Amino acid sequence: MIDLHMHTFFSDGELVPTELIRRASVAGYKAIAITDHADRSNTEWLLSNIVGVVDEVGKAYDIQVIAGVELTHVPPQSIADVAQLARDKGAELVVVHGESIVDMVMPGTNLAAIKAGADILAHPGLMTDEEAELAAEKGVYLEITTRKGNSLTNGHVAKMAEKYGAKLVINNDAHAPSDILSPELIHKIALGCGMSEEQYQQAQQNSADIVARIKG
């Protein structure tokens, strides 16, 4: 199992990075990404605390760990610049907090994230045809999430991805130990939102492909 969207106490998670990595390893995950909430104010600080360190801890616990960020409530017109800042400061993965229906995300965030070349658009809510088509064209992965609230539109996201050929990944968006779900439960959540078994297996492969691209 791979999860590319997890939080530590460097933003609103409960665990220090080392404990998060250890718990994920014990739960059977083969790779994770630490993607704490970031904007222009804290991107450099966040990455200075995890780049390099997570590789060392990951090796100790036999799990691959990716250093990333989740750009959150960044104004759409600034997303491209902050995403580039994150990459310049060592982010291996850029996730953007999409237009979830349970958050007050500014309209236009989904489209700006896709145009900026984010790696993953997290919980994109009631995304439009234009957004889904462009995500497919630009190779931006769309997230199916197991997180309560944000998961309410999983079915719509899955349908839009299938309609336009966009690639999906499945993430926990973990903030607490209880959010690190078992592969069996994640599988059920995916099928429950309307994904086929083939789509589920492809989403797993998509996550593996991202890890392979980053870690070689």
Q: Give the domain extent around 68.
A: 2-215
Angle, nearest 10°, between helix axes 17-26 and 53-60?
30
**Cα 29 from Cα 108, distance rounded (Å):** 34
User: To which residue do tokens 């991107």 refer?
Assistant: 43
pLDDT at res. 216: 84
* Tokens found for residue 19: 């404990």
- Predicted confidence (pLDDT) per residue in 185-206, tens digit: 999 999 999 999 999 999 999 9
Cβ(143)–Cβ(121) below 8 Å: yes
In a 10 Å sphere around its CB, with 0-12 CB exposed, 13-18 middle and 19+ buried, how is residue 202 labelled? Answer: middle
**Cα 58 from Cα 31, distance rounded (Å):** 9
pLDDT at res. 38: 98
**Cα 192 from Cα 87, distance rounded (Å):** 35
CATH number at residue 123: 3.20.20.140
- Predicted confidence (pLDDT) per residue in 68-108, tens digit: 999 999 999 999 999 999 999 999 999 999 999 999 999 99
- Predicted confidence (pLDDT) per residue in 34-63, tens digit: 999 999 999 999 999 999 899 999 999 999
- Predicted confidence (pLDDT) per residue in 123-160, tens digit: 999 999 999 999 999 999 999 999 999 999 999 999 99
pTM exceeds 0.85: yes
* Tokens found for residue 120: 């993953």
User: To which residue do tokens 């970031």 refer?
Assistant: 38
**Cα 180 from Cα 173, distance rounded (Å):** 9
State the pLDDT confidence band at 171, using cuts at 50, 70 and 90: very high
Cβ(181)–Cβ(151) below 8 Å: no
Looking at the structure of the chain, the number of domains it has is 1
- Predicted confidence (pLDDT) per residue in 174-186, tens digit: 999 999 999 999 9
